[in-house]
Structure 1
Amino acid sequence: MYEYHGKGGPLTVDTTDDVRKMEEIIRPVAAELGLDIIDPNGPNSIGFAPVHNTIRRGVRASASESFLKPVLSRPNLRILTGARVDKILFNQDKIATGLQYTFKGKTHIVDARKEVILSAGAVMTPKLLIHSGIGPRKQLEKLGIPVVALTEGVGQNLDTHVQFPSYWKIKPGLSFTAKDVLSPHNIVNYIKKQTGFYSMPPGPHMHTYLNVGGSNPRRPDVDLYMGLQIGVEIPFYTPEINSQFAGPLLNEPVLFFMVMLCRPKTRGYIAITSKNPFDLPVVHYNVYEHPDDIKLHLKGVKELIRIMDSEALRKIRMPQPDLTLKACAHLGNKTDGYWECYARHMALPNEHFCCTAKMAPPTDPMGVVSPRLSVRGVSGLRVVDASVMPEVVSTNPMGTVYVIAEKASDIIKQDWGYLTKEQV
């Protein structure tokens, strides 16, 4: 299973006991339905894939813990928390010279000796670019921001996964319980040893990567990711929706699914509504604006039902309470019309935002950065975060963002004449 995994390195990747438990439940399902259990790092991208977590000795191996903490003592590194960057500064030749930021209510300017690297994420990176005079003509003119470079793609092409949930009641003893969450033993055990219940992250335990309509059969377009848990309310929904979707199963053992579009065709955008850097941007997701997305989501639902109707999962299912969404009940029980209505009420953008300053060749008028991550129309400025991706990857993009950062470090060293390990 680990043939396609490295060893060592700053980031620890592993599976947990609950993931292995989920894999044993799914193994007969995979055999029955003719699906593989895959390593998503391997050559096959279609099938059930156990979740890999970034955990080290029972603690989340975050980017901060894995990459930043080990180098905090370096003399060329200074971290200033609680500061907010207001804009990037340019000279008359459109060369980035530094940036303006606010710290403890005061405005400061820091000069760049070589270049400025912007890593604010897919929402705040376009905000900062536009506040700095780099962006679409209409937005810059509307806000009265002096133009440094007209780059129409800034803030456009917002991409993310779209998903909606589904609960299925299962037999007791398969998932954790409220007692596990509140157990003093589990709490003390984790505080002392970082092992046991609290060392395993909540959330999905298994992906189901499927191609249900895409042109490339080797590339997933739907992911039915699942986890063993107890029924809980989802804070993004109203109390009325939660009472219908989750109410009958609160604190009951469930198999929890998210039906996720891996490659939605709809694109959103980021809009800046004020010159005030304190004001947050507006995010327009445009969910289901492209008609193919809702069609694909309905196909994903049918695959979910096919999986849950397998003989292997029927053995662990319990009688399902009525979870009909009242707003959609008139369309008939579990018809395509019902599921489309359900999806339009329940679909949520995932937090996998990307692509709002996309990398593209010069022939693409909506491109923002070059293959070396330099921002069009100016010098001395790079973007290094998820916003440079042309489109969202098929799964969680965290690993992709780490790779972008690693590659960017090599590019920067090459461009400034420093040798990389490969060149030594």
Structure 2
Amino acid sequence: MLHKLITILTILSVGNSFGNDDEAFVETVSDNDETSHIYGYESPSQESRRGKLLYSYSDNPMVNIVVETAAPNFVGQKPGDIFEFLRDSYPLPGGLHAPYDEYDYVIVGAGSAGSVLARRLSEDKNATVLLLEAGKPEMLLTDVPALAPYFQATEYTWQYYMEYQPGVCTGMLNGRCFWPRGKAVGGTSVVNYMIYTRGRPQDWDRIAAAGNYGWSYNEVLQYYMKSERASSMGGIEKLPYRNRDGEMSVEFVPRKTKLIKAFLEAGRTLGHPTTDYNSPYELGFGYVQTTTSYGRRVSAAKAFLHKQKKKRNLHILPESTATKVLIDPQTMTAYGVEYVRNKVKHTVRARREVILSAGPIASPQLLMLSGIGPRENLQSVGIPVLKDMPVGQTLYDHICFPGAIFELNTTGVSFSERTALNLRQAVAWFRNGESDMSTPGGVEGIGYIKTPVSDDPENVPDIELIDIGGSITADGGPGGSRAVRRGMRITDETFNSAFGEIDRLGKDTWSAFPMLLHPKSFGRLELKDSNPFSHPRMYGNYLTHPKDVATFVASIRHMQALAATPAFQRFGAKLTRADYPSCRATVFDSDEYWECAVRTLTATLHHQIATCRMGPVGDPLAIVDPELRVHGVQRLRVVDSSIIPRTISAHTHAPAVMIGEKAADMIKWTWK
């Protein structure tokens, strides 16, 4: 096993030409074989961006240490896709060389929802299922939780950027917010931070009360439980609202710092009980729960697809990009999908249903490319309008602020890349998963708080505190990879000015990222053109409502109160005086300073929702009904986090899996 690790990391150290199809131009032509081919090209600016994607590998200290220690005589070479032999594979079963021309169900997207949906629908042996995925299968290195930030700049993500918005992300490259989304068999669950949260009961009860029958908390709870295989959580797994028999492993992180106990103790001091934060009965602070098993990532693909490869009625096609849903304009019935695989365009028909599970960006984009969307936008890019609907016109996202950092006067207590990523830690992770490499980006705890700014009449939090056993400076110091800050696209000027001293000295730190759970501000997305390989235009409209800013400031004040408790003062916690270049006209630690700081380091948590929002007939903003059928179109559903109609107190991976579970039952019921 160690030899395999050395081989992998040695190869990884020389980099890889990871692609970015950001601006690929697609042209369809016919040749003598009457086969349509897809030709693409990249602009020079794209080629330069492609080269920049290599930094997170060539600078990886774990790679360097392992190579220098175990393979000092290795001579690299410039490879193509050198990772192919490391990847998982999904060959067609039964010796097939090509997929069928027709299936009962065609699912677009093998992410958190699509993977479980394909698994459940293929349980009917009389039904055939095709699962199309634009990305590649995952590989061994994506299993390492600590490497999550490295994969933000690789072929395993869609390199989406929000449109420029003045006054947010001012400390990011080009002043634009980076929105990477998973592009893999397993979707975003292959590159995320693996945090398992379900949302508060009130979140789901309010969704149901808006006319979405079947979506109350008690009704969705059974589907959360169906997937879950909880273990190693100190007895929490035995509670009646948890399950130990599902496919998706959920556990506590095996390696923790002393700072998590300080976080929980400080929470209790301020009135926040230590609890299972997924409990429907109380708010509180708790150890982070992750979709891992023995310190290894468990993606949706691992949980739901890996053991299904030999099923003859389930065909999984990676590297296959859907470009259009085929809809009969007379009957408004979906009957198939066009997709591109190996630069050749194919058509597949669906006898029963077409199901979009491509995520909150790609699912609405595909609907619009197929003629379902806002009339004005579709007509402006030359797409015939089949159904005028507000697709993409509502977009909520969770954003956080990673810049409230507290220096400690104690050494060796926080996570640091210098100590976490070395040969000894790598070997320990391979043996039993118990090493610093099992930490999901240093996250150790979750705390829900309701700030004084909230006007919610019920006990619903407006902030989630993501407790870190360190801070975003943990990837720095001499020889550090700086992968976290680069993954967020923070400029060197901003980072060095704000945190240069503690970064250079490698000081121990503590921080928590406040995540705005229920923003009043919301955005939208629209097509840029009719090219299915272009990214849509995405507008976040972050912090355009003053209450969102006030909530962030209140959350930072609460973090300062936590740091002032005896639990953190035992480590000498002291707020770092961050010098943001754009905030020098404000008084440090004033409300105005913190607003400026939040606008400088505005980071998404990749939780976009509501772009294909769910609602009953008569809801002018709804795209799908409570059974996830597209309004006015037969045999077409959307099954992913884009259907969530309003903000929820949760990271979206677990809700997306739940949506896949629930949708599978609804579809099975439809077709008996």
Which residue is 2:392 aligned to? 155
Structure 1 residue corresponding to 2:405, chosen from 157, 167, 179:
167
Which residue is 1:279 aligned to? 534
Pairwise mapping of residues 328-407 of structure 1 onto structure 2 (< 5 A)?
A: 328-407=583-662
Structure 2 residue corresponding to 1:83, chosen from 320, 333, 337:
320
Q: Deviations over 1:152-202 (max 9, x none)?
A: 2x0121111111112211221212333423421111222344332223332
1:415 matches 2:670: yes
Structure 2 residue corresponding to 1:176, chosen from 409, 415, 422:
415
Q: Match for 1:169: what amino acid?
A: E
Q: Match for 1:113: what amino acid?
A: R
Pairwise mapping of residues 131-150 of structure 1 onto structure 2 (< 5 A)?
A: 131-150=369-388
1:186 matches 2:425: yes
Q: Deviations over 1:58-116 (max 9, x none)?
A: 31111000011121211111111111100000112110010111111111100001110
SS at match of 2:530: coil
Q: Deviations over 1:24-52 (max 9, x none)?
A: 22343133212211212213443212210
Q: Deviations over 1:122-179 (max 9, x none)?
A: 0011100000000011111111211111112x01211111111122112212123334
Verify the 8 A CA contact 1:285 1:349 in the aligned structure 2. no
Q: In 2, Cα distance between the equivalents of 1:74 and 1:337?
A: 59
Structure 1 residues 343 and 33, CA gap change in structure 2 (3 angstroms): same
SS at match of 1:330: coil
Q: Deviations over 1:204-234 (max 9, x none)?
A: 2112211111313411101121111362451
Q: Match for 1:228: what amino acid?
A: G
1:5: how far off? 2.0
Q: In 2, Cα distance between the equivalents of 1:216 and 1:43?
A: 17
Which residue is 2:349 aligned to? 111
1:291: how far off? 2.0
Q: In 1, Cα distance between the equivalents of 2:637 and 2:357?
A: 9
Q: In 1, Cα distance between the equivalents of 2:257 and 2:428?
A: 21
Choose 214-223 or 112-121, whichever is displaced more: 214-223
Q: In 2, Cα distance between the equivalents of 1:261 and 1:397?
A: 14
Structure 1 residues 244 and 28, CA gap change in structure 2 (3 angstroms): same
SS at match of 1:14: strand
SS at match of 1:303: helix
Which residue is 1:123 aligned to? 361
Structure 1 residues 182 and 31, CA gap change in structure 2 (3 angstroms): closer
Structure 1 residues 300 and 322, CA gap change in structure 2 (3 angstroms): closer
Verify the 8 A CA contact 1:151 1:377 in the aligned structure 2. no
Which residue is 2:491 aligned to? 238
Pairwise mapping of residues 205-216 of structure 1 onto structure 2 (< 5 A)?
A: 205-212=444-451, 213-216=454-457
Which residue is 1:422 aligned to? none
1:254: how far off? 1.3
Verify the 8 A CA contact 1:385 1:404 in the aligned structure 2. yes
SS at match of 2:585: helix
Verify the 8 A CA contact 2:277 2:446 in the aligned structure 1. no
Q: Match for 2:336: what amino acid?
A: G
1:318: how far off? 4.8
Q: In 2, Cα distance between the equivalents of 1:45 and 1:222?
A: 15
Q: Match for 1:224: what amino acid?
A: L
1:265: how far off? 1.2
Q: In 2, Cα distance between the equivalents of 1:329 and 1:257?
A: 24
Percentage of pairs with the same residue: 30
Q: Match for 1:211: what amino acid?
A: K
1:20: how far off? 7.8
Q: In 1, Cα distance between the equivalents of 2:282 and 2:518?
A: 14
Cα root mean square deviation, aligned: 1.8
1:47 matches 2:284: yes
The normalised TM-score by structure 1 is 0.93
Structure 1 residues 45 and 249, CA gap change in structure 2 (3 angstroms): farther
Verify the 8 A CA contact 1:19 1:206 in the aligned structure 2. no
Gaps of 5+ in 1: 418-424
Pairwise mapping of residues 250-265 of structure 1 onto structure 2 (< 5 A)?
A: 250=503, 251-265=506-520
Verify the 8 A CA contact 2:255 2:436 in the aligned structure 1. no
1:292 matches 2:531: no
Choose 177-186 or 132-141, whichever is displaced more: 177-186
Structure 1 residues 178 and 131, CA gap change in structure 2 (3 angstroms): closer
Choose 252-261 or 404-413, whichever is displaced more: 252-261
Gaps of 5+ in 2: 1-234, 476-481
Q: In 2, Cα distance between the equivalents of 1:303 and 1:319?
A: 14
Verify the 8 A CA contact 1:373 1:384 in the aligned structure 2. yes
1:245: how far off? 2.8
1:19: how far off? 4.6
Structure 2 residue corresponding to 1:24, chosen from 261, 266, 274:
261
Choose 67-76 or 212-221, whichever is displaced more: 212-221
Structure 2 residue corresponding to 1:73, chosen from 310, 313, 317:
310
SS at match of 2:469: strand
Which residue is 2:332 aligned to? 94
Structure 1 residues 59 and 98, CA gap change in structure 2 (3 angstroms): same
